[in-house]
Amino acid sequence: MSIVVDGVGDWLDGASSPGRNRQHFRSLEPNLRVSSVRDGGLFLILAALWGLSFPAIAVGLEDLPPLLFAAFRYDVAAVLLLAVAAVRVEDWLPRGRNNLVAIVGGGLFLVAGNGFLFIGQQTVPSGVAAILQGLVPIVTALWALFLLGERLSRMGVIGVCVGFIGVGFVVQPDPGNLLAGDTVGRLLIIGQVISVALGGVIVQRARPTIDRLSLTGWSMVLGALVLHAISYGAGEAQSPSLLTPLSLSMVIYLGVFSTAVAFLIYFTILENHGAFEAALVSYLVPVVATIVGVFVLNESISWLTFVGFGLVAVGFALLKRRALAAYLETKTPQLAT
């Protein structure tokens, strides 16, 4: 997230088998139209809010230690989301083992796991960090093999392989020194991707019945507490003087706009158009992050990184080809009218 954009769609909307995708899109056809200015605007706003989160992290890291910074982000977001949930959701308190398991899985892996992202971005450009998030659905498919009993078709296996080849282009390890440059940072961000994907599958397996808004808020409460504990245990400075006007503004942006407001927008898109269409926003996020990183923060990104991003996108398309075909099938009649 930033959450991890595409993984968020998987764990909030629940597991769906490829065989049900076509029927799902047909049944929701009246709701899958993003032709209105309002829906298209929300889609672009969400991409901008999430895309700007990566440069915001880079700026905030100039003053704040990474884990404490991540904890502050989710402190703010958790308070806001639970405040909204308390007003809008009748039964917003978690009850039942399945809901508690989902919150623990979401808090430990989906939220606290993002600490790896903040650590990695100390050396990794914003655009690269955003591009690596495209690996989430591919890693999610692998976790689902073990924890959900799902299967990959031959084309799905090819998609996973293509995606990992793309990651190789993005990471670009030096064979002579695998720890040279920012390779460690990029590997840490891959660790974040693995954690987020695992958390998403754990939540799916738990089959929570609590409202999505409440589930997200409580998961962020737990994740923030875990990040605070690890930050303190790791010896990060805890002084209030670390919150300079600039770093405080980054915390506010990330907690309020890039997390709380962004998730409310995401939920709207999810309810109106389904998880697949909501997930497509994740492939606009690296574009925003890269443009801001290069032209505002003077970051440099090699052409091999863009090749890697293209391969990850191709891997995603192969992995989700049935859902993509069903989605395009519902769009074709609309484009013809």
Q: Print burial letters for 76-86: b (CB count within 10 Å at least 16), e (below 16).
A: bbbbbbbebbe
Q: How far apart are CA 2 and CA 75, in angstroms?
A: 14
* Neighbouring C-alpha atoms within 13 Å toward the C-beta of 36: 10
Query: Average of pLDDT values for 54-58?
Result: 96
Q: Which residue has the higher pLDDT, 328 or 75?
A: 75
- pLDDT score of 81 more than 80: yes
| CA 45 to each of CA 37, 78, 161, 265, 290: distance values in angstroms, whole numbers, following the listed order | 12, 21, 32, 8, 16
What is the pLDDT at residue 24? 47
Compute the radius of gyration of the chain from its Cα atoms: 19
Close Cβ partners of 283 (under 8 Å, ≥ 6 residues apart): 134, 313, 316
Query: Average of pLDDT values for 256-262?
Result: 95
- pLDDT score of 31 more than 70: no
Query: Average of pLDDT values for 266-288?
Result: 78
Q: How far apart are CA 285 and CA 278, in angstroms?
A: 12
Query: Average of pLDDT values for 60-79?
Result: 97
What is the pLDDT at residue 191? 95
- pLDDT score of 34 more than 60: no
- pLDDT score of 121 more than 90: yes
Mean pLDDT comparison of 29-43, 129-143, 227-241, highest-scoring range: 227-241
Q: To the nearest 10°, the Cα dihedral for 216, 164, 277, 38?
A: 80
* Cβ-contact 252, 76 below 8 angstroms: yes
> What proportion of the chain, given as a percentage, has pLDDT over 70?
81
Checking phi first, is residue 141 left (phi over 0); if not, alpha (psi -120 to 50) or beta? alpha
What is the pLDDT at residue 178? 56
- pLDDT score of 277 more than 80: no
Q: How confident is the model at residue 190 (pLDDT cuts 50, 70, 90)?
A: very high
- pLDDT score of 12 more than 70: no
* Neighbouring C-alpha atoms within 13 Å toward the C-beta of 16: 21
3-state secondary structure (DSSP) of residue 177 = strand
Burial label, 35 (beta-carbon count in 10 A; 0-12, 13-18, 19+): exposed
Structure confidence by residue, pLDDT tens digits, 221-232: 999 999 999 999
Q: Which of 23-37, 165-179, 253-267 is the least confident region? A: 23-37
What is the pLDDT at residue 333? 55
**Residue 108 CA to its chain's centroid (Å):** 15
Q: To the nearest 10°, the Cα dihedral for 320, 326, 328, 334?
A: -160
What is the pLDDT at residue 26? 47
Structure confidence by residue, pLDDT tens digits, 295-330: 999 988 888 888 988 888 888 888 878 877 776 676
Closest CA to 324 of 288, 275, 285: 275
Query: Average of pLDDT values for 135-151?
Result: 87
Per the prediction, the chain carries an average pLDDT of 83
pTM: 0.84
* Cβ-contact 200, 11 below 8 angstroms: yes
> What proportion of the chain, given as a percentage, has pLDDT over 90?
48
3-state secondary structure (DSSP) of residue 174 = strand
